[in-house]
Chains A and B, each alone.
Chain A
Amino acid sequence: MASAGSGDEKAATVTLISSDNEHFEVPEAVATLSQTIRHMIEDGCTDGGVPLPNVTGRILAKVLEYCNKHAAASDKDELEKFDKAFVDIDDQATLFDLVMAANYLDIRGMLDLTCQTIADMIKGKSVEEIRETFNIKNDFTPEEEAEIRRENQWAFDD
């Protein structure tokens, strides 16, 4: 059962502890959007809080933002709008951190959303455009690039 929860009128809560030791008290109904946390609650090992060494406080806060919204709202359009705004982030590093967190915490909806977002950054782009998007340095020689282009030609027939 919940560690910091008390009484039957209040909903059960669980405390999540980020890698930089920030504590978040979260209703179970919200926290169990994460399959990882759900399994831990079911196994009864959440006393004293759940340590999440792979997730910083900053990212965990964002994750909980997602979970709060998705646990509460049921309107499809409203959720879609939220999701769109959720991944509209300026910072690529944050986006990748969110993907990793969603994977580690096993939050299906958030994982799909963030993976789709990253895919959209790649889809349909040329090699040069992808380099620009992700700030990747080209360390091939022109001959190597030509060879690679030849090798990859089969996928570009349409």
Chain B
Amino acid sequence: MDHTTPHEISGRRDETTTRNQPTMSSGDLHLDGAALILSLPEDVLALISAHLRPRDLLALSATSRRLRDALYGGGADKAWLAQCRRLLPSPPHLLAWRAAAGGSSLAVCRFLHSAAPLLGALWAHQNPELGNLVAAVPGFLSVVAARAIPQELSPRLRWAPVFELLADAHGRPAILFLHGHQPADLFPARLSSLQPHANVLFLEAQTDQDPIASSSHQFPRLAFGDRRRLLDSLVAACRVTLPPDLVAAPLFARSEDDLPVLAARREAMLRLHREAGGGMVCTTEVEGLLEAKKKGEPTPLPSNGGERIRLRRSLSAVAGYVRNSLRQMVTRSVSANSRAEYVDTKHLPLADFLHNGESVGLSLRGARVRLSTYRAWPSMHDNRFALYKLTLQAPMPGREYAGLWGGTFGWPPGRPEDECKPRKALFFLLLSYEVDSEGKLLLIATKVLEGTHYVVHPNGSSMFIARMCEPSTEAFPWQTDGESRNVDVERGFAGEGIANGYGFRYPGSKPGSLFVLQDGQLAFVWRETGAVLTLQRLNLEELMKKGERVPALQPVPNFAYLTKSYSNVFTGFPGSSASPRVLLDLASPLVAAPSHPLAPPGCGTAAQAWLLKPGFLPTSDLLKGHRAAYSNCSSSSVTKNGRGITATTCRMDDGLAVVVIAG
């Protein structure tokens, strides 16, 4: 069986690999290897496929006509189904997806492969600082990006849709919609490109002359104001509406019962996208909208759209950190400083961009960009309509606590079904591991969602850091939990918890300990104050499935809310039914809880104040019936409105205007 024959492989560069692999024997000179492969039953092909990637199956199918006929299509559907299962280990109703893709597992596989960079990651922007966490989860032959909004702990997680990416009949990720304020509204767009290891998602506009996967993207070269106006105009021009019977349909299957309505919704969305030409709008129409905007534009617009987040961690802020962190921070701040922070003055004129083609439309681009991170939080531009990837580390031996956790402050730990009023603020933390400059393993808890009404620390702050090699010397303060069960502490680690530092942007830290409790709960206890943060692992996808959909903002801010905000912009004024949109434009309500830094001592829940953007005046409707008193305003001026209610505008230390209504 060792004869070398004319059909033996010869001239291969790598002889060693061929030696270990079977070749055709001399007795089978006329036997095409294709016949061997074709003789395999479909089930066996599927087993082999489970060890391969899509490209391998495709390469095999490209070798000859017979193999192409056999493997590229219905005959090898099980092999492609095996690929789908490999790409999405917990496949949500894959067979229903296959049916929606015309019975082709190959099309489903193509979609899963192309959309993979979105899944399994969390996406966020720096602003709003309370958190704006977006998770991309499988929908129905689609990927649904939904945002968990800042909220209190409750039985159902509240989330708002951001965008949806659907597969076309061939499995291409060609159908994209942004979500906007009304639940029936959809804003068609296109996916311009999605790189395999994309870490930023950009919301852009694309003319029809832009090659889809071109590297010469013109949109980023526009000035910020032009970008914003162009996106707003496109949103106004391309809006479509779902048929009324599908408006209340779910976006992902909560059970098999949802599948028929999801299939119907998909059909409707495909039709809407096709009829809207993919959301492409005639250039002349866009120019008209831009002109109209220019003339009728209300003033003033938030001016801090172009403000850059200062990344420099000054040495004075560092003083609160332990020595290790100090060293690490100084090295990081050097690299952060050296990153270019200039505003590019050589902008592309908007007219030039538009005249590149005959129509222009919204687009999403997923790119791999050089990002510096500090403690698991990427440094972000704040004048780009973009979402940045937060990497989810998978738990592994020695790093068991990696992943997404959620919890509340206080003991006993909050439970979703608790009926206490007020409900506890829900915190989401991303736990990840890093090795510090001395080679020691640290567990870092990055805050990604905060359920208070007014944020205490920036989005992405390290709520605590625990040193894995240093057991805690403190005892866990409580013996029993809320249900009078004994508390079983398995382990304790020493570390630091976040504390007030030098202003909002530079938090400090104070010593504390991380305890691992029975049933996998974590609890971080601040030593001085005795404050405790209890955490449980979260399955965000499951929570969203069982959760409650709430309305989205307008499409562009719903994607990335670029105006600086420290309160919850994702909810309207509680209890108000009248034009929440107006309120969102003008103000965000603030309820100063007694523990909040801004609340004067002794104030109860009766104290209320309004946060207005600079330059806005309160209307009488907003002020009706409110009573409050603050005593520590640094400056004040008095304005009166027609109803005779006195309003005092105070400037606070961090530059916000707080309106105090008296009488």
Give the docked Cα–Cα distance between A125 and B113 (Å): 19
A95 within 8 A of B: yes
User: Which residues in chain B, 37-65, are within 8 Å of chain A measured between CB atoms?
Assistant: 37, 39-41, 43-44, 47-56, 58-60, 62-65
Q: Does A50 count as interface, using CB distance less than 8 angstroms?
A: no
Cβ < 8 Å to B, chain A residues 86-113:
88-96, 99-100, 103, 111-112
The answer to whether the Cβ of A126 comes within 8 Å of any Cβ in the partner chain is yes
| Inter-chain contacts of A111 with B (CB < 8 A) | 44, 47
Determine if B654 is an interface residue (Cβ-Cβ < 8 Å).
no
Interface: A130 (CB within 8 A): yes
Query: Contact at B39–A118, with CB atoms within 8 Å?
Result: no
- B113 and A154 contacting across the interface, CB-CB below 8 Å: yes
User: CB-nearest residue of chain B relative to A119?
Assistant: B51
Contact partner of A122 (CB less than 8 A), chosen from B54, B60, B113, B195, is B60
Prevailing SS type, chain A contact patch:
helix
Q: Which of under 10, 10 to 19, 20 to 34, or 35 or more describes the interface residues of B?
A: 35 or more
Q: Judge whether B1 and A157 touch: CB under 8 Å.
A: no
B33 touches A136 (CB 8 A): yes
Q: Which residue of A lies closest to B22 (CB)?
A: A92
Q: Would you call B479 an interface residue if the criterion is a C-beta within 8 Å of the partner chain's C-beta atoms?
A: no
Task: Choose among B9, B21, B34, B39 the residue that contacts A136 (Cβ–Cβ < 8 A).
Answer: B34
- CB of A152 within 8 Å of the partner chain: yes
Give every chain B residue within 8 A of A127 (Cβ-Cβ).
Answer: 59, 62-63
**Among B24-32, B267-275, B286-294, B433-441, which stretch is in contact with chain A?**
B24-32
**Closest chain B CB from A64 CB (angstroms):** 20
Tell me which residues from 108 to 146 in chain A have a Cβ below 8 Å from any Cβ of chain B.
111-112, 115-116, 118-127, 130-140, 145
- Chain A, range 30-81, C-beta contacts under 8 Å to B: none
Contact in complex: A157, B196 (CB < 8 Å): yes
Query: In the complex, what residues of A have CB within 8 A of residue B50's CB?
Result: 115
Question: B519 on the interface (CB 8 Å rule)?
Answer: no
Q: Which residues of A contact B56 (CB under 8 A)?
A: 119, 122-125
Contact check, B196 vs A158: say whether CB atoms are below 8 A apart.
yes
The 8 Å CB contact of A91, one of B22, B44, B53, B65, is B22
Minimum distance in angstroms from B431 CB to a CB of chain A = 28
A125 and B59 form a contact (CB under 8 A): yes
A12–B47 Cα distance when bound, in Å, is 33
Across the interface, do A90 and B64 meet the contact criterion of CB distance under 8 Å? no
Contact partners of B28 in chain A: CB under 8 A: 93
Q: Could you tell me the distance between the alpha carbons of A90 and B1 in the complex, rounded to whole angstroms?
A: 7
- The answer to whether A135 touches B37, judged by C-beta atoms less than 8 angstroms apart, is no
With A133-B9, A136-B33 as contacts: A88 and B62 at CB distance below 8 Å: no
Closest CB in chain A relative to B75 CB, distance in Å: 17
Report the separation of the CA atoms of residues A112 and B290 in the bound assembly, to the nearest whole angstrom.
63
Shortest Cβ distance from residue B81 to the other chain A in the assembled complex, whole angstroms: 16
B256 proximal to A (CB < 8 A): no
**For the complex, is B20 an interface residue (Cβ under 8 Å from A)?**
yes
Q: How far does the alpha carbon of A123 sit from the alpha carbon of B71 in the complex, in Å?
A: 16
Known: A91-B25, A125-B56. A136 touches B67 (CB 8 A): yes
Q: Tell me whether B34 and A134 are in contact (CB under 8 A).
A: yes
CB-based contact A138/B51 at 8 Å: no
Closest residue of chain B to A95, judged by CB?
B22
Most buried by A among B44, B50, B53, B110: B44
B22 close to A116 (CB less than 8 A): no
Considering the chains assembled together, what is the distance between the CA atoms of A50 and B196 in angstroms? 53
A115 & B58 in contact (Cβ 8 Å cutoff) = no
CB–CB B58/A96 < 8 A: no
Q: List residues of chain A with CB within 8 A of the CB of B58.
A: 152, 155
- Contact present for A115 and B47 (CB under 8 Å): yes
Distance A116 CA – B52 CA, assembled complex (angstroms): 9
Indicate if the CB atoms of A137 and B22 lie closer than 8 Å: no
Q: Which residue of B has the minimal Cβ distance to A96?
A: B36
With contacts A92-B23, A96-B39, A140-B64 taken as known, whether A154 is within 8 angstroms of B44 at the C-beta atoms is no
Contact in complex: A132, B12 (CB < 8 Å): yes
B68 proximal to A (CB < 8 A) = yes
| Listed A/B pairs (27) with beta-carbon separation below 8 Å | A91-B23, A91-B24, A92-B36, A93-B28, A93-B31, A96-B40, A100-B41, A100-B44, A112-B47, A119-B51, A122-B48, A123-B52, A127-B59, A131-B64, A132-B9, A134-B36, A135-B7, A135-B31, A136-B32, A136-B64, A136-B67, A137-B64, A149-B62, A154-B110, A154-B113, A157-B195, A158-B197
The 5 residue pairs across chains A and B that have the minimum distance between CB atoms: A134-B33, A119-B51, A155-B55, A158-B196, A155-B54
